[in-house]
Amino acid sequence: MRPVYAFFAYSVDGATAEDLTSATFERVVRSWHRFDAERGSERTWILAIARNLLTDHYRRTGRAESVSVDEHPGLLEHLGAPDEALERPLSIEELKRWLEPLSAREREILALRYGADMEGVEIARLLDLTTANVHQILSRSLRRLRELTTSGETGSQAQRATRRST
């Protein structure tokens, strides 16, 4: 259950993550007869259901809940202070704002890898990508976040830089 909640927490607020986690397991119970172990592990199947629910959630809400880094320009500057960054973990909202310059696909792969603790092979199977492609996207995403954090770019500058590099 923790990996499913963590996957959602990369993208939505805590209450919504809880609701979507519950909905995921309701759907798992209702659909258990369709699970096919030959197509993937239980974990991959459950996270595929979670991913579909998140997609449905975004369609319903129109992503109106997202917050721009422009509204909180001090966030990236604060993250650039190495001593303070090590003293406390990011809140879910800070993490979402920090990841905002990345594309939806990059955020999703990061959420599956680090939030849901899935291996690259599992992510590749879930998203119908090659394992090498998943690792490349992870590597580039992390490098881009590191560059944006150290360069001090914020808001639309970071988003333009991200669009140019994808």
Task: Locate the domains of the chain by residue range.
Answer: 2-165
CA distances, 151 to each of 70, 107, 137, 154 (Å):
16, 20, 21, 9
Please, which pLDDT band fits residue 63 given cuts at 50, 70 and 90? low
Task: Please give the biggest Cα pair distance in the chain.
Answer: 51
pLDDT tens across 13-30, in order?
888 989 999 999 999 999
Start-to-end CA span in the chain (Å): 33
pLDDT at 77: 54
Q: What pTM was estimated for this model as a whole?
A: 0.54
Place of tokens 């119908």: 128
User: How far is residue 136's CA from residue 150's CA, in Å, rounded to a whole number?
Assistant: 21
Higher-pLDDT residue of 39, 125: 125
